[in-house]
Structure 1
């Protein structure tokens, strides 16, 4: 299945995103019958009745594949694009196959074969535990087959299958592909391909998160990291500690119930997306102080520049027994409800401000030599609870690089500062994730979110944010922090995540801020920055394929900014520098 062939993309006719590892095609036209049959391991699947957005209660390979097939049907027959934007004006009728006559060849059946049996880890995998490889073939006679290693790789194959079809411009004439014969052999470069979504600085209803999971699956991501709590709000209901969200959420109803979290995780599993929850500690914990002010030092301290990276300030006290009791009670409630549906739990650990502990009456020091053993003890306690629940801890890079803590070899270290961080983490033998703020932070370039008084305004004009400029899709697409790593270091890189911190994002703009720039990261993570011949992938080729995907995302209900003006997709050579 994994014989590498030269990727062959012929103009817009083969606009698959992310690019398959091996793709060959012809130019024969086939039509897809609306009642095409699908078999899964020799079992004929019946068409489902009801919404594909419903959240099931059971998890099984058959149910996952059946639901994915139904979504593929809807995508093809309700959301395929007429590709007028991708050919010179008034030339589409010369590209499309004839919709008249009796010579049309139809795909009448799609045969899906899963070659191995799923197990429990298939649905909540440690990175690398699930093989997502698949083969997809379509003959000129209309025979279509998918051979996939797991139910998750069936999902990936079906997403590719949907992108092969276009809606004919003649009303009521149906959908077609002009690529037969098709032969695709595909698998991901990285086993962790994620988006980090901050839902604490602004509130995002559950339906926004579910829509994001859909979009992630179309781009062959496999992780949604939800940064669920922070200094600004605590939008997570904890039955054992109901006061946390009652006082820490922005308002009543702006918090996720245990059922919401379960629904989000199961919805993700059905789309091959593992949901990872983060409760960031001991920093970024001010919102705990709204219900438990005794646990927090420098709670909402007004001279915030010296005590936190952004207001409101406040960190958990480090040498206080009630803090340990609180964390134990919190984790004993949350983790057993997370662990059936995820293999990981993120405990944060970034941006711990030493000045806060000068005002912590249990510490009274900002000395690194004093604070390091206290932070080590706190992290050991938290990670013992995570492991007890059967989960693998993830932390931000500072715990290893800044504080030089001793972390278990199971701990995944997420880097965010620069390429050097990834090199250091892997050089020290730890599994790592990449995605630094200079390349993969989506909120950059929109300007500062806080206000300036008249005295300071002129100094700070034009109010750029700390990570300006905006990271356009080309910057994201060209990011390759692994290029200088040794083979041993590269083996420790699980993958990466692109980040949406929400100081200036909420449901009104989240889709446009996220897509299709996150799609560029999706191809880097799935296909790799280099093609199978070892050459960097071309922006010129990518722009057309990404524009095609963007059109499909719009029709499937996800807002997405344009890649280029339509003229550039119609006349590609005119818009090349």
Structure 2
């Protein structure tokens, strides 16, 4: 193992215009004082008294409260100093000591960190990606050095469920220099440490520079759950690559680590499979609404640099339709049945319908080719989502080809139990096909709760050592206990707290959509996986949670506002799993939303800005 040591020096960007903001800040009659302690500490806005020091809101935000502006709050002990040190980006240097295998990742992560600091400037240029910093006249600021040292010990360059994501962060003051030390086992922990470091800094209006808490100790901050996910559906509505990239940026700011990409569904097949071009020719909404393999690989790498696994879901055997219709003309028969069949309510849960044709062996050959190309795009694959929910047996048992086939396999009956067994056989065969496509490496499969996982049957149909069950039913569903008793690992995505598409007008019919009402960030925050699991005996089987954004009623236009800052509430729940409720986090949440907007995320406004400037006064 070789170590890479890299020195970097930031470039000072000069521009006119910042002085106007300095003057505006000096003219303000207000000062902000931190009053109270712990989670009850608040920045209180008061009229400044003559000849007494004035503290800006930005300064107060950094040093007020047990966790200051940190989001998610660390799971470890935190000590924040009460002083601030101003500095310029020109005097920021770093020393990176990491294994060669992660040197490139660390350098890219450091570049992202530096860009985040530029974004704190109120005149950040979004086109050029630069900020017009000026040179402070005070030499104690202009000449102050910020030295960042990052140490990583392991060669791990891919995220897995066993990856150590912990980090320690120390900020030590000294005359003329502030030293930052980030220590982590892996690159992923070091990246989280850089994110926390960026949050204990902000913009100083008076001197047009940056300021940092002068003393910080975060000791071994480590996530409560190894799987902290966000699912986005790009089949109902196509979402452009740049908007997915922005979603990954936002995820990284709150330490979510898994982007669950529900790429395909019965509505569209928007990913290019080179060996099967008719999949996207029949399945994409248009030639412009298509994910090319290089774009997919680019998103996988974009996420990796930001500490995020990009995990595909090719939903099957239901939620399959458009993109699969071309079989007959190629002499392969019907690869899918009930495609766009009417009346849709008899054959699927929402239009359009479609399910794979279990009676057609050619379907498995096509599925293998899809898997082969998917594994190359997402390589390497440690987790694969098979979908596997909402199979409509009426579709299969009204299709002559499947009915005839059912009478020749298994017990030869048309009973519900026989259909369930053949569905199970399909699922396990799909698992083996994916393993073959993945160069023989067995990835862990994830499957949604469904009739296949209902009470009394899950251990008959699925292998607990191969599959993780993702629970989308209500948080009090009795199946939760049965799954855990049968030793299955679970991911919680209960729709009554973590479905972000709920609470809008119906898109089929009138009134509200099926899972209304709207879920506020408070409910997202208070939804505890451990509480849903019940007994501590099952805690090790709860590997995490995930919010879902199904896209029937969203595309890139409304994506940010529906995801954020609610997704940040999920991030804190899954990182530190706090025993306290949302009330203790409200001030930091409102502040983190502001920070997300500074970074270019159109996060939904939570309160009037008056509440942001008058903490604790917008109580119920």
Measured against the shorter chain, the TM-score band is 0.7 to 0.9
Deviation at 1:102, TM superposition (A): 5.1
Bigger RCO (CA 8 Å, 6+ sep): 1
> 3-state DSSP class of the match of 1:313?
coil
Query: Which residue number in structure 2 is paired with residue 433 of structure 1?
Result: 491
Secondary structure at 2:522 match in 1:
helix
Tell me the residue number matched to 2:425.
Answer: 377
What is the SS of the residue equivalent to 1:345?
strand
Counterpart of 1:574 in 2: which secondary structure? coil
Deviation of the 1:288 alpha carbon: 3.5
5 Å matches for 1:282-301?
282-292=317-327, 294-301=334-341
Q: Which residue of 2 aligns with 1:393?
A: 445
Structure 2 residue 452 is matched with structure 1 residue 412: no
Match of 2:218 among 177, 184, 194: 184
- How far apart are 1:400 and its partner, in Å? 2.6
| TM-score with structure 2 setting the length | 0.79
Q: Contact between 2:105 and 2:187, CA under 8 Å: does it hold in 1?
A: yes
How far off is 1:554 after superposition? 1.3
Q: Does 1:567 align with 2:605?
A: no
Rate the CA distance shift 1:80–1:418 in 2: closer, same or farther, 3 A: farther
The residue number in structure 2 matching 1:26 is 81
Rounded to whole Å, the distance in 1 between the matches of 2:494 and 2:614 is: 35
Q: Which residue does the alignment assign to 1:86?
A: none
Q: Deviations over 1:138-182 (max 9, x none)?
A: 123222211111111111000110111121122x530112x3321
Cα deviation per residue 1:454-497 (whole Å; 9 max; x = unaligned)?
Answer: xxxxxx5xx11110001111110111132152233110111011
- 1:260-312 residue CA offsets vs partner (Å, 9 max, x unmatched): 11111111111110000000000000123433371222221111112111001
Asked if residue 557 in structure 1 is aligned to residue 600 in structure 2, the reply is yes
Q: CA deviation at 1:107?
A: 4.3
C-alpha separation in 2, matches of 1:26 and 1:335: 48
SS across alignment from 2:387: coil
Contact 1:31–1:107 (CA under 8 A) maintained in structure 2: no
Cα deviation digits, residues 69-88 of structure 1 (max 9, x gap): 11111111332579xxxxxx
* Superposition deviation, residue 31 in structure 1: 1.9
Question: Residue 164 of structure 2: which of 131, 139, 153 is its match?
Answer: 131
Flag the 1:540–1:81 CA change in 2: closer, same or farther, 3 A.
Answer: farther
Residue number in structure 1 paired with 2:148: 110
In 2, the alpha carbon distance for the partners of 1:354 and 1:380 equals: 18
The aligned residue for residue 55 of structure 1 is none
Residue aligning to 2:515? 467
Judged with a 3 Å threshold, the aligned counterparts in structure 2 of structure 1 residues 261 and 42 are, in CA distance, closer, same or farther, namely closer
Pairing of 1:42-191 with structure 2 (within 5 A): 60-79=101-120, 101=138, 103-104=140-141, 106-114=144-152, 116-119=153-156, 122-125=157-160, 127=161, 129-141=162-174, 142-170=178-206, 172-177=207-212, 179-185=213-219, 186-191=221-226
How many angstroms apart in 2 are the aligned matches of 1:37 and 1:10?
Answer: 33
What RMSD, in angstroms, separates the aligned Cα atoms of the two structures? 2.3
1:259 aligned residue (294, 309, 312) = 294
Distance in 1 of aligned mates of 2:324 and 2:187 = 44
Instruction: Indicate conservation of the 8 Å contact 1:193/1:496, yes or no.
Output: yes
Query: C-alpha distance in 2, partners of 1:471/1:145?
Result: 39
- 1:19-48 Cα offsets, whole Å, 9 max, x none, are 0122111211112331311001299xxxxx
2:133 maps to which residue? none
CA distance in 2, matches of 1:284, 1:173: 54
Do the aligned partners of residues 540 and 180 (structure 1) sit closer, same or farther apart at CA in structure 2, a change above 3 Å counting? farther
1:197 aligned partner? 232
Q: Could you tell me whether the CA contact under 8 Å between 1:75 and 1:556 is conserved in 2?
A: yes
**8 Å contact kept, 1:297–1:359:** no
SS of 1:284 mapped into structure 2: coil
Residue-by-residue CA offset, 1:512-554 (whole Å, 9 max, x unaligned): 1111111100110111132xxxxx24x3332221122111211
The answer to whether residue 500 in structure 2 is matched with residue 442 in structure 1 is yes
| Alpha-carbon spacing, 1:229–1:250, altered in 2? closer, same or farther (3 Å) | same
Q: CA deviation at 1:573?
A: 3.0
Following TM superposition, by how much is the alpha carbon of 1:425 offset from its aligned partner in structure 2, in angstroms? 2.0
Answer yes or no: is the 8 Å Cα contact 1:540–1:576 preserved in 2.
no
Larger Rg: 2
Query: SS of 2:472's equivalent?
Result: coil
2:497/2:519 contact within 8 Å kept:
yes
Residue deviations 1:442-465 (CA, integer Å, cap 9, x gap)? 110111112x4xxxxxxx5xx111
- Could you tell which deviates more after superposition, 464-473 or 550-559? 550-559
Q: 1:312 aligns with which of 337, 342, 352?
A: 352
Report the number of matched residues: 517
- The 8 Å contact of residues 234 and 287 in structure 1, kept in 2 or not, is answered as yes
CA distance 1:514–1:66, change in 2 (3 Å): same
Task: Give me the whole-angstrom Cα distance separating, in 2, the residues matched to 1:511 and 1:230.
Answer: 22
2:311 to 267, 276, 283: 276
Shift of 1:101: 4.8
Task: Give the alignment partner of residue 343 of structure 2, picking from 303, 306, 312.
Answer: 303
Could you tell me how far 1:394 is from its partner in structure 2? 1.2
Q: Which residue of 1 aligns with 2:526?
A: 478
Deviation at 1:7, TM superposition (A): 7.7
Output the CA distance in 1 between the equivalents of 2:268 and 2:241. 16
User: CA–CA distance in 2 between the matches of 1:148 and 1:334?
Assistant: 32
Q: 1:236 aligns with which of 235, 255, 271?
A: 271
1:495 equivalent to 2:535? Answer no
CA distance in 2, matches of 1:347, 1:302: 26
TM-score normalised by L of structure 1: 0.85
Q: Does the aligned pair in 2 maintain the 1:226–1:275 contact within 8 Å?
A: yes
Q: 1:225 aligns with which of 260, 263, 275?
A: 260
Q: 1:377 to 1:216 in 2, by over 3 A?
A: same
Work out whether residues 215 and 558 of structure 1, in 8 Å CA contact, stay in contact via their aligned partners in 2: yes
Matched-pair contact (CA < 8 Å) for 2:39–2:585: no
* CA contact 1:7–1:24 (8 Å) conserved in 2: no
SS of residue in 2 equivalent to 1:195: strand
- Going from structure 1 to structure 2, the CA distance change for 1:375 and 1:325 (only over 3 Å counts) comes to same
Contact 1:345 1:393 (8 Å CA) reproduced: yes
Tell me if structure 2 keeps the 8 A contact 1:226–1:278: yes
